[in-house]
Amino acid sequence: MAYLGTPIDTTNQFQSLQGKRFSGDGSTTAFTLDVAPGSVFDIEVFVENVRQDPNSAYGISGTTLTFTAAPSSGTNNIYVVHQAKAVGTIDVPASGVVPASLASNIISGQTALTSEPADTDEFLVSDAGTIKRIDYSLIKSSNTPAFEAHSASNQTISNNTYTKVTLGTEIFDSDGKFASNKFTPTVAGKYFVYGSVRLQVDASQMQFGQCSIYKNGSLYAERIIDFRNNNGTQMNVDIATTIDMDSDDYVELYAKILYGGGSEIFITTDNKGSHFGAYRLIGV
C-alpha cells in the first residue's frame, strides 16, 4: 500500500547520536565527555544499565559530568548518550540567494539613518566581482576644508600699494583653517578660491583698483578695473581662481588703489562688499 504521512527525508544525511562509556571505580564522581551538553536533559546517563535521574543523580559543567554519588566499580559500566548533539551545519550554496529570496521590505523596513554615517560605519561593495566591506571614511566626498569671511570695518590703505585685506567676520569655517586673515587648509588638493574688494576714495580721483590672491606670500592671481580716463569714487573688483595647494600652503586676499587726489582711500565693508572664501574641489 502507499506510504501514509510525511514522506521520509532521503535528501539530507543524519549522523547517529554521540555516546561514550566510562569505567567506575567506586570513588570517582567526575568524568570528562567529548561534547559539552546544553543541560542535564540533553543526555541520558546509565550506570549498570539503570538510567539515572537528571534532576538529582548528576550535574553538568561544560564537558564535565559529575555524579552526586560515585558509581560502582565496573568495566564500561557507565554509558552516556547525547540526545541533542549538533550533528552538522547547513551552508547556503554559492549563488543560492537570489532577489526572489529577499523580502520586498528588506530595506524600507529597516531603521533609516537620520544623520551622516560615522567614519567607521561599513558598506558592502563589489570589487571586480568580489564582495568587500569598506569604511565610510574612504568613500565619502567633502568640499571641506571651506570658509568664507568678510570685512567687519572699513580699512584705510596707502595709495598704489598692495595691502592684505582684513576680514574680521567669519561666515563659516568648516575645519577652523582660517585665521589671521589667511586660509591654510592643511589638506592637499585643488581649491576654488574667490574674493571681492569694494574700493573707495573720498573724491572722484580713483584711477584703477586691483584685487589679488596671494599664495604663500606671493602674487598668484590678479584682477584690475582701470578707468584712468574717467575717474570714479568706488568700485568692486572680483576675483576667482583654482589653486593647487599642498598641506602647508596658504592664501590671502590683497587689494590696491591708484588715485590722483583726495585725503583718504579705503576698503569698505558695506553689505559684505569685501569678502574672501575657498573650498576644496572633489574629483579633480
How far apart CA 167 and CA 112 sit, in angstroms, is 41
pLDDT for residue 212:
97
Fold of 146-280: Jelly Rolls (2.60.120)
The helix or strand, by DSSP H or E, that contains position 7, with its residue range, turns out to be: none
Q: How far are the Cα atoms of 207, 249, 277 from residue 188, in angstroms, in the given order? A: 39, 9, 17
In this prediction, the residues of the chain whose per-residue pLDDT falls under 50 are: none
pLDDT for residue 16:
59
Domain with CATH 2.60.120.40 in the chain: 146-280
How far apart CA 79 and CA 284 sit, in angstroms, is 74
Cell of 31: 568524568
138-154 confidence digits (pLDDT tens): 888 789 999 999 999 99
187-214 confidence digits (pLDDT tens): 999 999 999 999 988 776 788 899 999 9
pLDDT for residue 95:
78
Q: Determine the 3-state secondary structure of 93 from DSSP.
A: coil
pLDDT for residue 238:
94
Q: Residue for cell digits 563659516? A: 172
pLDDT for residue 5:
59
Cα angle for residues 184, 190, 192 (degrees, 5° grid): 80
How far apart CA 47 and CA 41 sit, in angstroms, is 16
**Bond from prior residue into 145 cis (ω within 30 degrees of 0):** yes
